[in-house]
Structures are given as structure tokens and as C-alpha cells.
């Protein structure tokens, strides 16, 4: 297998300055173990830690991303509390998470997500675009309808380049719950999404990830789905031991 597999650590509102130790352990492991070749490791710590972490780990083995971006499309200005795309790029981030269900609940509607995607593109930040249905939508059989709407309302056909965009499918009912969809369910979702993206955006091989309660155990089952090109990992990414083990188990 020689396609790139992504392992993205979404630290959410966790971590402090000492947490660099976790990233350093991951870095040392991969420096020693060159066998794990076709992988991309991206850490998305809280923004207050990003610059100093990036300064300590200057290596192509590990990349960094932010968990948010301002929707305001200028570099500087009178916008209290906002961080512009340029500022985020300056921290050393190359990726940004947009559309995470936890953010959608707080303050990201379709239009905001679209605006943020534009700012990210302008600043050459690659986008980790999250989509996902909630439990009641799933139970009503609406999953694909919800996902397609999330995609269509935020991805502008004329602007999006799928080389700069990763789609992370994260069923809301799976995030932080320990419940992971069956492979049958996932085959259906990813197969349909692939077809849909081809139809609407003419993309042949979109990079699609899975997120939601990924662990050292279930990664072995999830890896059977070849349309999944990696994982967005929350809880299990906070400690280097579990994060490394997820990657080891994937390639075992
Ligand atoms: P989890 O979070 O792995 O803790 O479920 C994943 C995510 O929300 O990105």
C-alpha cells in the first residue's frame, strides 16, 4: 500500500506547554522507525501552543494545524478576538479544521464555514473539512442527505481544489462516545460520498478520513475500508503511546 494515510491529532480544548513532550515522543518514534513511510502526521493543538510547538519540532515528519480560523477575509484590522488566516499561517500551521460538529454547535453555520474555507484557501492553509450526521438523523435514514447538504452548502465548485482539502467524516453520535459505525455502514457512506463528489466536483480520488472514537483496537477494523485515507483522532491523540499505537496497528 503506498497511498498516504493521515493521522490527525485534534486536541480540542486540551493540553498545556508540557504537552510538547507527547509530540516529541511521536517525533522520536518516527525518526527511529522509517518503516512507517506512507503516513502524514498532523497535530492540531490549541492555538496558544502552536507557535512554540512548531518552533521546537521543525521537521517534515510532523505537521501542524489549527482548530479554527476567522471568517473575516483580511490580514489585520479592528476585529477583537479574531485570528486572521495570515496570522495562523505565521504560527507555522499548514492545516485548519473547519466544520467540526463541536464548532457547528457553537457558532459555525453553512455560510460561516464557506467564508472560513475561502480565507483558508487564500492563505494557503489546507482544509480539514468535517461533516457528520447526528443520531436522530441517522435513525431516520437521513445520513447521506445531511452529509451532501453540508458539502454542497460549503464547498464552492469553482473555488475548491481537492488537493487542498481533506474531508473528515465524523458521525456526531460517534465522537467521544466509544461507539463506532459498522464497516457495512461505513462502506455505504464512503462509497456514496465518493460517487457524489465525482458527480458534483469531478474529483476522482478525494482524500476522505474517518473520525469518532478511533482507538488502538478499532483502527484494525476501520483500516479494512480502503476509501478511508486516515483518521481524525481526538481523545486517543492526547497521549503519544495511544497515538503511536494507532498508527502501528494500522500498518501491522
Ligand atoms: P474522538 O474525537 O476521537 O475523541 O471521538 C474525534 C474528533 O472529534 O475529531
Among protein residues, the one with the nearest Cα to ligand 1's atom 6 is: 234
Among protein residues, the one with the nearest Cα to ligand 1's atom 2 is: 234
Domain hosting 121: range is 5-251
DSSP code for 41 = E
Per-residue pLDDT tens over the stretch 185-205: 999 999 999 999 999 999 999
Please, are residues 159 and 218 in contact by the beta-carbon 8 Å criterion? no
Please, are residues 230 and 8 in contact by the beta-carbon 8 Å criterion? yes
Q: How many CB atoms lie within 10 A of CB 136?
A: 10
Per-residue pLDDT tens over the stretch 91-122: 999 999 999 999 999 999 999 999 999 999 99
CATH number, domain with residue 217: 3.20.20.70
Among protein residues, the one with the nearest Cα to ligand 1's atom 7 is: 234
Torsion of CA 153, 158, 163, 166, to 10 degrees: 0
Number of structural domains the chain divides into: 1
Residue from 137, 250, 222, 234 nearest 177 by CA: 234
* Predicted confidence (pLDDT) at residue 53 exceeds the cutoff of 80: yes
**Residues within a 6 A CB radius of ligand 1:** 10, 170, 175-176, 211-214, 232-236
Is 170 in the active site? yes
Which residue out of 100, 102, 108, 133 is catalytically annotated? 100
Percent of the residues in the chain that have a pLDDT greater than 70, as a whole number? 100
Give 53 Cα–ligand 1 centroid separation in angstroms: 21
Give 74 Cα–ligand 1 centroid separation in angstroms: 31
* Predicted confidence (pLDDT) at residue 222 exceeds the cutoff of 70: yes
Give the containing element (helix H, strand E) for 194: helix 183-201
- Residue 149 region by backbone torsions, left for phi larger than 0, else alpha for psi between -120 and 50, else beta: alpha
Q: What would you measure as the largest C-alpha separation in the chain, in angstroms?
A: 51
Give 174 Cα–ligand 1 centroid separation in angstroms: 8
Please, are residues 156 and 191 in contact by the beta-carbon 8 Å criterion? no
Q: How confident is the model at residue 1 (pLDDT cuts 50, 70, 90)?
A: low
Residue with cell 485534534: 10
Amino acid at each position: 500500500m503506498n497511498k498516504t494515510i493521515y493521522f490527525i491529532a485534534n486536541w480540542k480544548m486540551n493540553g498545556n506547554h508540557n504537552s510538547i513532550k507527547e509530540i516529541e515522543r511521536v517525533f522520536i518514534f518516527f525518526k527511529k522507525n522509517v518503516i512507517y513511510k506512507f503516513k502524514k502526521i498532523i497535530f492540531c493543538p490549541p492555538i496558544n501552543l502552536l507557535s512554540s510547538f512548531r518552533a521546537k519540532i521543525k521537521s517534515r515528519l510532523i505537521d501542524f494545524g489549527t482548530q479554527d480560523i476567522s471568517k473575516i477575509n483580511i490580514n489585520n484590522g479592528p476585529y477583537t478576538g479574531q485570528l486572521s488566516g495570515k496570522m495562523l499561517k505565521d504560527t507555522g500551521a499548514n492545516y485548519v479544521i473547519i466544520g467540526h460538529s463541536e464548532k457547528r454547535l457553537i457558532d459555525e453555520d453553512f455560510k460561516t464555514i464557506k467564508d472560513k474555507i475561502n480565507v483558508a484557501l487564500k492563505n494557503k492553509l489546507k482544509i480539514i473539512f468535517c461533516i457528520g450526521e447526528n443520531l436522530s438523523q441517522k435513525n431516520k435514514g437521513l445520513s447521506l442527505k445531511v452529509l451532501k447538504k453540508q458539502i454542497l452548502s460549503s464547498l464552492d465548485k469553482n473555488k475548491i481544489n481537492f488537493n487542498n482539502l481533506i474531508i473528515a467524516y465524523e458521525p456526531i453520535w460517534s465522537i467521544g462516545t466509544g461507539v463506532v459505525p459498522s464497516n457495512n455502514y461505513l462502506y455505504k457512506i464512503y462509497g456514496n460520498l465518493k460517487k457524489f463528489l465525482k458527480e458534483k466536483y469531478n474529483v476522482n480520488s478525494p482524500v476522505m478520513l474517518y473520525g469518532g472514537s478511533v482507538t488502538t483496537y478499532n483502527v484494525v477494523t476501520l483500516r479494512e475500508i480502503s476509501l478511508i485515507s486516515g483518521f481524525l483522532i481526538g481523545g486517543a491523540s492526547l497521549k503519544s503511546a495511544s497515538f503511536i499505537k494507532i498508527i502501528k496497528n494500522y500498518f501491522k
